[in-house]
């Protein structure tokens, strides 16, 4: 059998409404800017989860070292809860796992989160571990590809955890529209999946990647003295539109499928324009990306963790009866990753 996702688990910090965040903090943070107000209303986010709620504490002047100490304090318990929930959902124990892969671009330290989770969860001392860092929003798919390859080659279950605490990287006040958009979009989440080499579930059939290095400067995530700073060009959807059709077409063609054979679409909701671009470029119906838009509204953009939230929502809804799924995510590079999956019962 093809390795398949057999368990999902998540852990989310407390949430705050978008209007509440604007009125209580960001309106003053951005100097009452009319542009900032419009952007906060236009990004499709209604609520976000946050470990550092600016209504309670303002981290915008904190050093990167202080932010990393907070990550080291808050990430392990969230990750523990997410992985434990995924293992429970899969009906497996921690000692059954042969590989633990952790993806994050929002916190670093050594010994890392992967080591701490292996200890707190009671995983085997010969557990293989892999940390995937600083790939950004698309990291879930290359990380999932590696987890699937391990499960197939070693005939052992594997776990992927995507954990992002973007709220730790709030930046000082600015009039830069790119910064305003990123502050309006991003939220926090920890989401884990269990991949089994020989069990029914969400089978991972194929993974595709494409990078247009001419867009290197259009999406960035820079380490500064005051946390990590996002650069997000408005040209990103246009670059993606140039390549999206060919990449998805090739992925489907080599698996003997066409667009009409896809029962569900799990698209990373980088923002409303990204989702609109995918719909328009591929000619999808208006309801095709409903799960992506709902996750954006309920959670915001949680970087690498977001796509797993979309997949869980998608297969928990209209795809219970089976069918092929295309998942895709975008990030720095500019990079497009896509995966073909199939729901098996």
- The CATH code of domain 202-343 reads 3.40.47.10
Residue 232 has a pLDDT of 85
Query: Is the pTM for the entire model greater than 0.85?
Result: yes
- How many angstroms separate the CA atoms of 159 and 194, rounded? 5
137 is catalytic: yes
Q: Which of 105, 137, 162, 302 is catalytic?
A: 137
Instruction: Dump pLDDT digits (tens) for 181-214.
Output: 999 999 999 999 999 999 999 999 999 999 999 8
Residue 249 has a pLDDT of 97
Residue 321 has a pLDDT of 61
Is it the case that residue 229 has pLDDT exceeding 80? yes
Helical pair 272-282 and 236-253, crossing angle rounded to 10 deg: 40
Domain ranges of the chain: 4-196, 202-343
Residue 145 has a pLDDT of 98
Is it the case that residue 149 has pLDDT exceeding 70? yes
- The CATH code of domain 4-196 reads 3.40.47.10
Comparing 4-196 with 202-343, is the CATH topology the same? yes
Taking residues 262-268, what's their average pLDDT? 96
- How many angstroms separate the CA atoms of 251 and 171, rounded? 39
Is it the case that residue 320 has pLDDT exceeding 90? no
Percent over 90 (pLDDT), the chain: 90
Token pair recorded at residue 38: 């419009």
- How many angstroms separate the CA atoms of 199 and 158, rounded? 13
Taking residues 303-315, what's their average pLDDT? 96
């Amino acid at each position: 059998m093809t390795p398949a996702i057999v368990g999902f688990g998540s852990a989310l910090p407390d949430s705050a409404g978008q209007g509440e965040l604007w009125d209580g903090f960001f309106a003053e943070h951005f100097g009452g800017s009319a542009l900032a107000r419009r952007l906060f209303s236009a990004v499709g986010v209604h609520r976000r989860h946050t470990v550092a709620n600016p209504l309670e504490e303002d981290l915008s002047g904190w050093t990167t070292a202080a932010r990393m100490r907070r990550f080291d304090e808050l990430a392990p318990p969230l990750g523990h809860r997410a992985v434990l929930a995924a293992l429970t959902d899969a009906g497996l124990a921690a000692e059954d796992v042969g590989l633990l892969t952790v993806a994050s671009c929002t916190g670093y330290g050594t010994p890392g989160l992967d080591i701490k989770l292996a200890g707190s969860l009671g995983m085997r001392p010969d557990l293989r571990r892999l940390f995937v860092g600083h790939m950004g929003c698309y990291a879930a798919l290359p990380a999932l590809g590696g987890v699937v390859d391990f499960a197939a080659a070693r005939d052992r279950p594997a776990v992927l955890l995507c954990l992002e605490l973007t709220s730790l990287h709030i930046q000082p006040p600015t009039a830069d529209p790119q910064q305003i958009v990123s502050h309006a979009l991003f939220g926090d989440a920890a989401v884990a999946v269990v991949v089994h080499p020989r069990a029914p579930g969400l089978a991972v059939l194929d993974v595709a990647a494409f990078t247009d290095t001419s867009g290197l400067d259009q999406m960035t995530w820079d380490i500064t003295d005051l946390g990590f700073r996002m650069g997000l060009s408005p040209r990103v959807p246009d670059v993606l539109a140039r390549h999206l059709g060919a990449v998805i077409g090739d992925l489907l063609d080599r698996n003997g499928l066409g667009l009409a054979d896809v029962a569900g679409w799990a698209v990373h909701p980088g923002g409303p324009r990204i989702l609109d671009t995918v719909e328009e470029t591929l000619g999808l119906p208006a309801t095709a990306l409903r799960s992506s838009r709902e996750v954006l509204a309920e959670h915001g953009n949680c970087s690498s963790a977001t796509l797993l939230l979309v997949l869980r929502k998608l297969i928990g809804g209209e795809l219970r009866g089976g069918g092929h799924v295309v998942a895709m995510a975008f990030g720095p590079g500019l990079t497009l990753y896509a995966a073909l999956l199939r729901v098996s019962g």
